[in-house]
Amino acid sequence: MNLATYARRNLFRRRFRSIMTVLAVTVATVIFCLIRTLVVVWHAGVDEAATDRLATRHKVSFTMELPKHYIDEIRQVPEVKAATWANWFGAKDPKERVPFFAGFAVDSDSWFDVLDEMQVPPDQLAAWKQTPNGVIIGDLLAKALDVQVGSRLVITSDIYPGDWDFKVVGIYKPLRKTADRNSLVLRWDFLNNDPRAGFAKDKIGWLVSRITDSVHSAEISRKIDTRFDQRDDQTLTTSERAFNLSFLGGFSAVLGAFDYGSLIILLIMTLILANAIAMSVRERTHEYGVMRAIGFPPRHILGFILAESVLVALVGGLIGVGVVVLAINNGIGPVLEENMSGFFPYFRAPLWVLGLALGLSGVLGLIAGAIPAWRMSRLSVTDALRRID
């Protein structure tokens, strides 16, 4: 009889307790994967940020605007290959078919050249440049709003009053899985020339630059900001990664709590498993004494108990990983991507998270069974035979 066979035969000797233990490990694995996936997804946009792009905003606050002519000066920096700009529009659907989506007023000549992770067919891009009130929207947003190229689209804004009548001239698709598929972009010149936007005439919200050398991005950032040090509107230029991280600042405490939460889940799983294994070992003390009496050495007793503990943990972990693949990757994930892509453009448990969860299940099973196995392997044959539970 080998370790695997013995562990398998003992697995369901107390069927109800074994099933409940496996279920507890399964639930803990699912919760762990869900928490880790949430943390990974929140950081995905940061981790996949382009290394050769810089973002420039007002030094005081992101909500404060900059003069439009700043773009011309930034383009004069030798290390800047291309630059573009945008304003937040705050788009809303009057029919409330979509609870939230991002709207930006951008430069039609340069936006998609600098932010090239959004793919627009050339004919649609050309039509946009010829249509002042044209908009290009993400493929998921087009589906949610039930519009297609050529459709009329009326939206409102959190910033600019009244209804805004647009024509959908293009639909973009992401080339990067973390790109937002639920956004709308309109032409900045159309917004700038509208009387309702007169209070922000010739103002821009932020600028995005593509640089020649990502290794020296910090030096290039300082060079850009130095140009405006003596102006009334000073700038703050950072890497795209740092720019995206600034939006996660308010969630850093929550994400930190999630990190600790995943560790607590693992601790709880270990305690539940350790308790179940300890009860099982105590009930079979006499049996282990008989095994010692007929010639099994202590290391075999140690191995039998550890194998059983690891097997229980791995079975629960494997079932948990299967549940995650079915419920999150093929269930909740696609729903969140379709309806909340502004927050979760991509929501799938990465393979490394699934592998980590399964690996930790085995390791924690080993830890949970270590003390009961060690104590039983050191118990004398006479003391073990004396105990009958």
Specify if 136 maps to a domain.
yes
Give the domain extent around 277: 3-46+251-386
Q: Are residues 171 and 84 in the same domain?
A: yes
Q: Are residues 168 and 303 in the same domain?
A: no
Residue 20 has pLDDT above 70, yes or no: yes
Are the beta carbons of 317 and 266 closer than 8 angstroms? Answer: no
Q: What is the pLDDT of residues 163-197, one digit of tens each?
A: 999 999 999 998 887 778 889 999 999 999 999 99
- Domain end, chosen from 203, 233, 263, is at 233
Specify if 286 maps to a domain.
yes
Best-predicted range by mean pLDDT (93-97, 156-160, 177-181)? 156-160
Q: Are residues 342 and 271 in the same domain?
A: yes
Specify if 53 maps to a domain.
no
Residue whose token pair is 């009860």: 279
Specify if 268 maps to a domain.
yes
Specify if 226 maps to a domain.
yes
Q: Are residues 282 and 172 in the same domain?
A: no
Residues with Cβ within 8 Å of 103's Cβ and at least 6 positions away in sequence, in order, are 88, 89, 90, 91, 155, 157, 183, 184, 185, 186
Q: What is the pTM of this model?
A: 0.73
Q: Are residues 186 and 129 in the same domain?
A: yes
Specify if 266 maps to a domain.
yes
- Domain end, chosen from 233, 259, 281, is at 233
Q: Are residues 170 and 276 in the same domain?
A: no
pLDDT value, residue 203: 95
385 falls in which pLDDT band (50, 70, 90)?
Answer: low
Q: Are residues 20 and 79 in the same domain?
A: no
Q: Are residues 77 and 213 in the same domain?
A: yes
Least confident of 114-118, 217-221, 222-226, 279-283: 279-283
Total structural domains within the chain: 2
Specify if 242 maps to a domain.
no
- Angle, in degrees to the nearest 10, between helices 298-324 and 351-378: 160
Q: What is the pLDDT of residues 241-276, one digit of tens each?
A: 888 777 666 666 677 787 788 888 888 888 988 888
Specify if 54 maps to a domain.
no
Are the beta carbons of 221 and 178 closer than 8 angstroms? Answer: no
What ranges in 230-284 are assigned the alpha helix state H? 240-248, 252-283
Least confident of 127-136, 182-191, 233-242, 286-295: 286-295
